[in-house]
Amino acid sequence: MEIYSLEYKYIFLIFVKYKYYSMKKIIALAGSNSKNSINKQLAVYAANQVNGVEVIVLDLNNFELPLYGIDYEMENGIPENAQKFLDEIKSSDAIVLSLAEHNGAYSSVFKNLIDWMSRIDGKLWNNKPMLLMATSPGDRGGASVLEIAKVRFPHMGGNILADFSLPSFNQNFLEDKIVNSQLRSDFEEAIKKLEQAI
- Kindly report the pTM of this predicted structure: 0.87
Judged against a pLDDT cut of 90, whether residue 11 lies above it is answered with no
Q: Residue 183 is which amino acid?
A: L
57 falls within a domain = yes
Q: Closest Cα to residue 161, out of 127, 115, 119?
A: 127
Judged against a pLDDT cut of 80, whether residue 3 lies above it is answered with no
Indicate which CATH number applies to the domain containing 33: 3.40.50.360
Question: Please, what is the end-to-end C-alpha distance for the chain in angstroms?
Answer: 41
Say what the pLDDT of residue 5 is.
Answer: 53
Say what the pLDDT of residue 52 is.
Answer: 92
Say what the pLDDT of residue 15 is.
Answer: 44
Say what the pLDDT of residue 14 is.
Answer: 44
Q: Closest Cα to residue 55, out of 109, 131, 127, 160?
A: 131
Q: Which stretches of the chain are DSSP H helices?
A: 2-21, 38-47, 70-76, 80-90, 108-120, 143-152, 169-172, 181-197
Range(s) of the domain holding residue 115: 24-197
Distances (CA, A) of 13 to 1, 6, 20, 64, 169: 18, 11, 11, 40, 43
Greatest extent of the chain over all pairs of C-alpha atoms, in Å: 73
73 falls within a domain = yes
How much of the chain exceeds pLDDT 70, in percent?
89
Judged against a pLDDT cut of 60, whether residue 180 lies above it is answered with yes
Nearest-angstrom CA–CA distance, 29 and 114? 13
Place 112 in a pLDDT band, splitting at 50, 70 and 90. Answer: very high
Place 7 in a pLDDT band, splitting at 50, 70 and 90. Answer: low
Say what the pLDDT of residue 21 is.
Answer: 52
67 falls within a domain = yes
- How many domains are contained in the chain? 1
**Residues 81-100 pLDDT 10s:** 999 999 999 999 999 999 99
Question: Mean pLDDT throughout 13-26?
Answer: 61
Say what the pLDDT of residue 9 is.
Answer: 47
How much of the chain exceeds pLDDT 90, in percent?
88
Mean pLDDT for the chain? Answer: 92
136 falls within a domain = yes
Say what the pLDDT of residue 83 is.
Answer: 98
Say what the pLDDT of residue 47 is.
Answer: 98
106 falls within a domain = yes
Say what the pLDDT of residue 1 is.
Answer: 46
Let me know: does 86 contact 121? Beta carbons within 8 Å. Answer: yes
175 burial (CB, 10 Å; 0-12 / 13-18 / 19+) is exposed
Judged against a pLDDT cut of 60, whether residue 53 lies above it is answered with yes
Strands 177-178 and 173-174: antiparallel
DSSP 32-56: ---TT-HHHHHHHHHHTTSTTEEEE
Say what the pLDDT of residue 166 is.
Answer: 98
15 falls within a domain = no
14 falls within a domain = no
4 falls within a domain = no
